[in-house]
Amino acid sequence: MFKKFVFALTALIVGFTAFVAMRPATYRVERSLTMATPVDLPFGLVNDFHRWHFWSPWDALDPKMKKTFDGPYAGPGAIYSWSGNEQAGQGTMTILDARPYESIHIQLEFLKPWPSKSNTTFTFEPVAEGVTVRWTMEGTNNFMGKAFSLFMDMDGMIGQDFEKGLATIKTLTETEAKNRLERQAALEAKAEAEAATRAAQPTEAPQANTATP
């Protein structure tokens, strides 16, 4: 009886392992959002890891999360590392390439809850309404990743985070774009008022030269 139980358990484990191994070896998550803003505003928020806390959907997972920044302040070579609770995990992001106002490529490496690597890309496409920001993540599923996909929809789970992050970027950049226009309009109105004031000021008539007889 015990041998039959061991045999059945072994067969179950082997079957489950084989089933997990047949899961997709790669994954891809992509979301996009159009924003009524100049392209430099969303590009700047993504290209500088110091500014990710304004919009990142994961930053609030652990208020006590430890963060470190290495390399250049922003752009290619910039490195951001974090270590937090079970939800935040531990990992590193490195900007591999950044083409101003076109694209940003980032390598994402998780150390916890389990090791994994993926490539993240942000693209910025000018459109009539402003700019469309597209956020993509691609990677390879190891055994743990394949097993995890049996119980969780990775596209749905990470996709929701992407949607939140993009929505926050949209709010921040559209607000700043509006403020920028208002500041510009105020400066132009001030300049026009000053020019009108100068034009309205009377000019002194030149004094006639009197010759001494």
In percent, the amount of the chain with pLDDT more than 70 equals 76
- Residue 21: both structure tokens together: 């191994």
Domain extent listing, the chain: 14-161
**pLDDT (tens digit, 9 = 90+) per residue, 129-166?**
999 999 999 977 654 554 454 445 677 778 999 999 99
What was the pLDDT predicted at 150? 47
The DSSP bridge partners found for residue 69 are 80
What was the pLDDT predicted at 49? 97
Query: Which CATH number is 14-161's, of 3.30.530.20, 3.30.750.210, 3.30.1320.10, 3.40.190.10?
Result: 3.30.530.20
DSSP assigned state of 5: H
* pLDDT classification of 12: cutoffs 50, 70, 90: very low
Q: Which long-range contacts (CB under 8 A, 24 or more apart) does 125-132 make?
A: 126/39, 127/34, 129/34, 129/35, 129/36, 130/34, 130/35, 130/36, 130/37, 130/38, 130/39, 130/177, 131/34, 131/35, 131/37, 131/38, 131/39, 131/42, 132/32, 132/33, 132/34, 132/35
DSSP assigned state of 37: S
Nearest to 105 by CA among 95, 115, 113: 95
DSSP state string for 148-205: HHHHS-HHHHHHHHHHHHHHHHHHHHHHHHHHHHHHHHHHHHHHHHHHHHHHHSPPPP
Q: Is the pLDDT reported for residue 14 higher than 60?
A: no
**Half-sphere exposure in the Cβ direction for 151 (13 Å, CA):** 4
**pLDDT (tens digit, 9 = 90+) per residue, 47-62?**
999 999 999 998 888 8
